[in-house]
Structure 1
Amino acid sequence: MTKPLSFSAFVMNTASHILHGLWRDEEGHQLNFNDINLWVSLAKRLEDGGFDAMFFADVIGLYGDYKGSWEHHVQAGMQIPSNDPMVLMSALAVNTKHLGLAFTAAPLQEPPFNFARRVSTLDHISKGRIAWNIVTNAQENAYRNFGYDGLVPHDERYRWADEYVDVLYKLWEGSWDEGALLQDRKSGIHADPSKVHKIHHVGERYQVEGPHLVSPSPQRTPVLFQAGSSTAGRDFGARNAEAVFIVTPDPENACKLIEDTRRLAIQNGREGHDIKFYQGLSFVIGETEEEARRKEIELDKNIDLDSILAHIGGGIGIDLGNLSLDTLIENVETEGVRSTLDWVQQSTPGRTPTVADFARLRDKSTRIVGTPETIADQLEIWSEAGVDGINVINATIPGSYEEFIDQVMPVLRKRGLVRNKHGEPGTFRHTLFGTDRLSERHPAARYRGAFTAKGATQ
């Protein structure tokens, strides 16, 4: 039986996100990224068009040097300038009713107490449609921006994230009991103090007394996304994530990654279906296959390959600008995003990938080119591989999404590959799982009632 796919728009509040150089395209409006009207109108279009979420990437520092310098990034607009997606959430929340709103943030950039407060506030404003993409951040410059000498080692970043989310779970799930907020005008009791608790967290990095200053939001804990596919990243995701963003080169590798992560989830006391998997894909759509291929040729002409290499290399801590295109990439040790190396290896079976493979494979292996019907055929294959949703990568904004909504979505609806209509307004977690709150199997659930007098003595 065909299952509906969930669709998310993969965006960033910047001019050049993934398919670099296309801010120069006169058909695109991403140059207007500072204009809130661009994002509000896109959010409304996505919601009306059947998308479940708008997923914002983010950075808090420059990528690593390219050709010995960071000047290229500024010149090309490669994720600089970029704005804080959390600030956008309020405007998008009050202009939509159904759309999930996901943002990216790392433990590095804000202490957990204030982060918990801001997220809960956003969840109230949106009536329960906020999601957080948990990243550990692999940018050397980002750590220097926050007072560190350099990049924290890869696995240590995940240990840091473990404590960070532990504090958040205590605040979101344990600090306020159900029914604590009374707001009783007659008695004059606004909240029952016996049901509001300090958490007294003392750990390696944080000491947080509490209580959480925000009463429970519709979801309490936002929907939890995660994107790391290294060994440490998969383990973290298996324990904590409700949705995992993957960028695999084909359905076969997606199936392996999904099965492995679900196996890890079961080992951690969860169930395999507790996690949804979103594959990142871009689309070139034509009325005929010939038209689609012509459009792809034009697209490739406009892509800035230097920025593609700068982006990938900067993410894994290697300056690819000083290497020839036929340089072999093997036995690379990096404290950056190791999953990128794994992905390129998967994409070139039987041989060692080269620098040129980085440039070519970054966008082409996750690109589907064809008519709406052949694109639907391919999405069926991804669905059969175990993918639950698609994170749609854009070439232009809003054009890439308008084209997908107008041309591909009707075909997907006919095949049962997307839900026909949104139901009544509800939480994002309800859209994904049919419930407003985290599953009892999630590690955060252990803090429900943990700080009551009875819970503290158990």
Structure 2
Amino acid sequence: MSHFPKKILLNAFDMNCVGHINHGLWTHPRDQSFRFNEIEYWTDLAKTLEAGLFDGLFIADITGSYDVYQNSLDLTLRESIQLPSHDPTTLVSAMAAVTQHIGFGITVNLSYEHPYQFARRFASLDHLTNGRLGWNIVTGYLDSAERLIGHKNLKDHDLRYDQAEEFLELSYKFWEGSWQDDALLKDKKNRIFTDPKKVHSIEHHGRFYQSQGVFQVSPSKQRTPVLYQAGSSTRGLKFATKHAECIFIGGDNPEKIQQQVQQIRQLTRENGRSEDAIKIFLGISVVVAKNNDLAHEKLREYQSYANPEAGLAHFSSSIGKDLSVYKDDEAIPYQKTNSIQSVNNRFKEQKITIQDLKNQHSLGGRYPLFVGSGDEIAEALINLLDFTGIDGFNLTRTVTPESHQDFIKFVIPELQSRDRFKTKYENGTLRHKLFQHGDHLSNLHPAQEFRCFKQTDSHKNTRDLTQQTA
């Protein structure tokens, strides 16, 4: 165990849309999020974040739209609550072209993909980014998404994770098991671009997927992109601690966050992995200025444009329950739904009223809010990280692009002066930057079972996958 204080990891948390987490702020005169459909908006953001030494840009996504609140899309459309939203994978190549180091964590819902087409697309992007790609694995939670693809409603929560297990198994076979490291020869003299003996056909016959053939993409820098996950239900945590390398959590109570972290570390050990095999990120919002008074003045200004009701509309779809039917002082009853279990369970554990939620959504979103000077924010983040055992933060945007610019101007130097944030990037892939253990997944990761190459001499489970079945 290192005796040096842990360096904070930092992602910007965003989405290819106008209103992401902190709803209503698109109306602020200085907000530029309405330009989300312009490529320069994203290339400028990537360059800004890399100048601030952010580890990654984590881009959320949903399939479907938020139509649970008032059983309508009206408020969602008026306040642009993640609608319209565009495909995040389309942004990666352009942002990679203007940067060298920052990673890109892209959310893709596996429920509406076939593993082959998905694996091919992400392996291609890992090539083009030179190994800077991550995948945030989600299984979906919106009935509106199911209707878009011709289904009536969501599959059962746990069944979605059963499908996700098989999706990942087949993806690992493509990424890790079809091409050996030395298959590409590029030998012009002997006219051998690829050695046929070192490329293997995949055979998969499973419950959800069937596939036979050779993966079309040769191995990228990381082979498998860095794996992110945010499942915090019992089934979701089991899945995440088996597969994920980074886990995204929520919470505003330090003791409960600490308990979440300890549970994740314990489950990771039970899955045969080292407890530091997973980096844990907490979602936060920050309003920072030169001093505390100016920061609170800025917060009041932002709150005058935010829309707490839009936050409720987003939250309604997260829990699968129309919150518009309750009065402000009415406690929201727990009711089992098929949406995000860990969020919905809050109503089982504590009395929460609509007014409580509106107060929590005063900035339009429900993430823990830090307000103050750069010095105060840096101290608060360090204290929270040290107390809870998390590894870093996913920083939401408020007013775009000034919220990230403010954080880089006021907070980053304070973290650096305390030796809690890097002063330059290391070279290498996103995985190597995060873990300092090379480009590929660890030998203790379940993907190693499907490899057709030797990563180290101690690796005991390499095997030809020519006839491997599920």
Equivalent position of 2:302 in the other structure: 299
CA distance in 1, matches of 2:253, 2:44: 33
Equivalent position of 1:389 in the other structure: 392
Task: Provide the secondary structure at the position in 2 that maps to 1:370.
Answer: strand
Contact in 2 for aligned 1:176/1:215 (Cα 8 Å): yes
Equivalent position of 2:317 in the other structure: 314
Equivalent position of 1:218 in the other structure: 221
Equivalent position of 1:371 in the other structure: 373
Distance change >3 Å, CA 453–CA 262, structure 1 → 2: closer
Cα deviations by residue, 1:250-304 (Å, 9 ceiling, x for unpaired): 3222211111011111111111100000111111113222222222222222111
Distance change >3 Å, CA 190–CA 55, structure 1 → 2: same
- For the pair 1:431 / 2:433, whether they are aligned, the reply is yes
The AA in structure 2 aligned to 1:21 is: G
Contact in 1 for aligned 2:62/2:109 (Cα 8 Å): no
What aligned pairs does 1:239-388 form with structure 2 within 5 A after superposition? Answer: 239-342=242-345, 351-362=350-361, 363=365, 366-384=368-386, 385-388=388-391
Q: Compute the displacement of 1:249 (Å).
A: 1.2
Distance change >3 Å, CA 343–CA 247, structure 1 → 2: farther
Q: Compute the displacement of 1:344 (Å).
A: 6.8
With normalisation by structure 1, the TM-score equals 0.95
CA distance in 2, matches of 1:175, 1:28: 47
CA distance in 1, matches of 2:358, 2:236: 24
Equivalent position of 2:459 in the other structure: none
The AA in structure 2 aligned to 1:232 is: R
- For the pair 1:452 / 2:464, whether they are aligned, the reply is yes
Alpha carbon RMSD of aligned pairs, Å?
1.7
The AA in structure 2 aligned to 1:381 is: N
Q: Compute the displacement of 1:64 (Å).
A: 3.2
Distance change >3 Å, CA 365–CA 311, structure 1 → 2: closer
Contact in 2 for aligned 1:344/1:358 (Cα 8 Å): no
1:191 counterpart (189, 194, 201):
194
Q: Compute the displacement of 1:67 (Å).
A: 1.2
Equivalent position of 1:39 in the other structure: 42
Count of residues in correspondence between the two structures: 452
Contact in 2 for aligned 1:140/1:150 (Cα 8 Å): yes
CA distance in 1, matches of 2:101, 2:466: 38
1:166 counterpart (165, 169, 189):
169
Cα deviations by residue, 1:7-50 (Å, 9 ceiling, x for unpaired): 11000111111100111111111010111101101100100111
What aligned pairs does 1:200-219 form with structure 2 within 5 A after superposition? Answer: 200-219=203-222
With normalisation by structure 2, the TM-score equals 0.93
Contact in 2 for aligned 1:251/1:381 (Cα 8 Å): no
Contact in 1 for aligned 2:202/2:468 (Cα 8 Å): no
Q: Compute the displacement of 1:308 (Å).
A: 0.3
Distance change >3 Å, CA 301–CA 439, structure 1 → 2: same
1:90 counterpart (84, 90, 93):
93
Contact in 2 for aligned 1:309/1:320 (Cα 8 Å): yes
Distance change >3 Å, CA 454–CA 90, structure 1 → 2: closer
Equivalent position of 1:142 in the other structure: 145
Q: Compute the displacement of 1:343 (Å).
A: 5.3
Equivalent position of 2:66 in the other structure: 63
CA distance in 2, matches of 1:335, 1:176: 39
Q: Compute the displacement of 1:123 (Å).
A: 0.3
Q: Compute the displacement of 1:110 (Å).
A: 1.5
Q: Compute the displacement of 1:239 (Å).
A: 0.3
Q: Compute the displacement of 1:87 (Å).
A: 0.8
The AA in structure 2 aligned to 1:429 is: R
Task: Provide the secondary structure at the position in 2 that maps to 1:50.
Answer: coil
Distance change >3 Å, CA 2–CA 216, structure 1 → 2: same
The AA in structure 2 aligned to 1:322 is: V
Task: Provide the secondary structure at the position in 2 that maps to 1:390.
Answer: strand
Contact in 2 for aligned 1:173/1:220 (Cα 8 Å): yes
Equivalent position of 1:233 in the other structure: 236
CA distance in 1, matches of 2:116, 2:240: 22
The AA in structure 2 aligned to 1:360 is: N
- For the pair 1:410 / 2:410, whether they are aligned, the reply is no
Contact in 1 for aligned 2:334/2:348 (Cα 8 Å): no
Contact in 2 for aligned 1:198/1:451 (Cα 8 Å): no
Task: Provide the secondary structure at the position in 1 that maps to 2:264.
Answer: helix
Task: Provide the secondary structure at the position in 2 that maps to 1:41.
Answer: helix
Q: Compute the displacement of 1:361 (Å).
A: 2.6
Task: Provide the secondary structure at the position in 2 that maps to 1:418.
Answer: coil
Contact in 1 for aligned 2:178/2:465 (Cα 8 Å): no
Q: Which moved more, 1:356-365 or 1:283-292?
A: 356-365
CA distance in 1, matches of 2:128, 2:465: 32
Contact in 1 for aligned 2:333/2:348 (Cα 8 Å): no
Cα deviations by residue, 1:299-358 (Å, 9 ceiling, x for unpaired): 222111121000001111111122212221233211111121345777xxxx51122223
Equivalent position of 1:443 in the other structure: 446
- For the pair 1:25 / 2:24, whether they are aligned, the reply is no
Distance change >3 Å, CA 3–CA 63, structure 1 → 2: same
Contact in 2 for aligned 1:153/1:335 (Cα 8 Å): yes
Task: Provide the secondary structure at the position in 1 that maps to 2:304.
Answer: helix
Identity of aligned residues (%): 39
Unaligned runs of 5+ residues in structure 1 are none
Contact in 2 for aligned 1:325/1:354 (Cα 8 Å): yes
Unaligned runs of 5+ residues in structure 2 are 453-461
Distance change >3 Å, CA 316–CA 454, structure 1 → 2: closer
The AA in structure 1 aligned to 2:183 is: A
Distance change >3 Å, CA 317–CA 456, structure 1 → 2: closer
The AA in structure 1 aligned to 2:414 is: V
Contact in 2 for aligned 1:12/1:58 (Cα 8 Å): yes
Distance change >3 Å, CA 125–CA 343, structure 1 → 2: farther
